[in-house]
C-alpha cells in the first residue's frame, strides 16, 4: 500500500471535526485531567453520559504522574486501593493500611478506561472562561469558553469558541482556574463561607484526605468542585502524594451529577 499524506491529513481533520461537533452540547464538561477528573469522567461515561474532558497540557494525569517529588510511586489507603483495583490497577501492600501503585500505570490506566468508556478528550485545550446565563440568584453556568493552549501561551489575540454543558466540573487542582475566572468576571457568590475562593492551607494529609471528599459539591449553580480544587475552594489542607481522597472525590462528584441528570 502506498501512503498518501493527503489522506492522512483528511482522516485526522475529519475525525477530529466529528468528535468536536459531537461535543458542542455536553452533559458534563470536566476541566483538568488529573486523577479526580479522570475518575469522574470514567464513571459518568460508563453511566452513559456525554462527557468531554479538557486539559491545558499535552499530557494527562495532573500530579499523579510524578508521584512524590518525581519518585513515580503513589500511595493510597484501603478505600483508594479498592477503586484502583476495580479499574485493574495493581496495588502492593506496604504496611498498616498503606498501599502503593506505580504512578505511570495508574495514570495511563485511568486515562485508557475513561477513553474506552466514551469520554471525549481534548488535550492542549484551555478553558479560559465560562458562559453564565440568568440574573441575580438565577445565574447559572451553561457552557465553557475554550481556546488552543499554544495560542494562549503565545499571547496571540485569537477569539475562543463556546461549548454548551449541563454541568461543569472544576478539576484544575490547586489553581482553581475556572473558579477564579468565574468570580473575577461576574458579580457572584460561591457556596463557600466567604462567598469567594477560600484558598488551600498547608499540607496535612490526615485531614485533607477526608475534606477532599467532604468538599466535593456544587459550589455555584451548574459548577461542581472535585479533587484538590474542592479543598482549595473551601479552605482545606492539601494532602500531597496520597491519592485515595482524589479518587473518592471523583467518584462522588460523578455520582451526584449522574443523579442530577436523571
* Residue 29 belongs to domain with CATH number: 3.50.50.60
> Confidence class of residue 82 from pLDDT cuts 50, 70 and 90?
very high
Flag whether pLDDT at 75 surpasses 90: yes
Flag whether pLDDT at 30 surpasses 90: yes
The pLDDT score that the predictor gives to residue 154 is 96
Residue 179 lies in a domain: yes
Q: How many angstroms separate the Cα of 142 from the Cα of each of 45, 84, 85, 118, 160?
A: 20, 32, 35, 22, 16
Q: Which tens digit of pLDDT belongs to each residue from 165-196?
A: 999 999 999 999 999 999 999 989 999 999 99
Q: Which tens digit of pLDDT belongs to each residue from 198-229?
A: 999 999 999 999 999 999 999 999 999 999 99
Residue 227 lies in a domain: yes
Residue 114 lies in a domain: yes
Q: Which tens digit of pLDDT belongs to each residue from 132-144?
A: 999 988 999 999 9
Residue 63 lies in a domain: yes
Residue 13 lies in a domain: no
Residue 187 lies in a domain: yes
Q: Which tens digit of pLDDT belongs to each residue from 60-69?
A: 999 999 999 9
The pLDDT score that the predictor gives to residue 121 is 98
* Residue 113: other Cβ atoms inside 10 A: 21
The pLDDT score that the predictor gives to residue 137 is 86
Residue 14 lies in a domain: no
Q: Domain containing 92: what range?
A: 25-261
The pLDDT score that the predictor gives to residue 187 is 87
Number of domains in the chain: 1
Residue 2 lies in a domain: no
Amino acid at each position: 500500500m502506498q501512503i498518501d499524506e493527503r489522506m492522512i491529513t483528511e482522516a485526522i481533520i475529519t475525525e477530529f471535526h466529528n468528535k468536536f461537533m459531537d461535543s458542542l452540547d455536553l452533559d458534563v464538561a470536566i476541566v483538568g485531567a488529573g486523577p479526580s477528573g479522570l475518575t469522574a469522567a470514567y464513571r459518568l461515561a460508563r453511566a452513559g453520559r456525554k462527557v468531554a474532558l479538557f486539559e491545558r497540557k499535552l499530557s494527562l494525569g495532573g500530579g499523579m504522574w510524578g508521584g512524590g517529588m518525581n519518585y513515580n510511586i503513589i500511595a493510597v489507603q484501603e478505600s483508594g486501593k479498592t477503586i484502583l483495583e476495580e479499574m485493574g490497577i495493581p496495588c502492593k501492600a506496604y504496611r498498616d493500611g498503606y498501599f502503593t501503585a506505580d504512578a505511570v500505570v495508574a495514570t495511563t490506566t485511568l486515562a485508557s478506561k475513561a477513553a474506552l468508556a466514551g469520554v471525549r478528550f481534548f488535550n492542549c485545550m484551555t478553558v479560559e472562561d465560562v458562559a453564565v446565563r440568568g440574573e441575580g440568584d438565577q445565574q447559572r453556568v451553561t457552557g465553557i469558553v475554550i481556546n488552543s493552549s499554544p495560542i494562549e501561551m503565545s499571547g496571540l489575540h485569537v477569539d475562543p469558541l463556546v461549548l454548551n454543558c449541563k454541568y461543569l466540573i472544576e478539576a484544575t487542582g490547586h489553581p482553581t482556574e475556572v473558579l477564579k475566572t468565574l468570580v473575577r468576571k461576574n458579580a457572584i457568590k460561591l457556596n463557600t463561607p466567604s462567598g469567594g475562593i477560600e484558598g488551600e492551607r498547608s499540607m496535612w494529609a490526615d485531614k485533607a484526605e477526608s475534606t477532599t471528599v467532604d468538599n466535593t459539591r456544587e459550589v455555584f449553580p451548574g459548577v461542581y468542585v472535585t479533587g484538590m480544587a474542592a479543598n482549595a475552594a473551601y479552605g482545606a489542607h492539601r494532602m500531597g502524594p496520597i491519592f485515595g481522597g482524589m479518587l473518592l472525590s471523583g467518584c462522588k462528584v460523578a455520582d451526584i451529577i449522574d443523579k442530577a441528570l436523571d
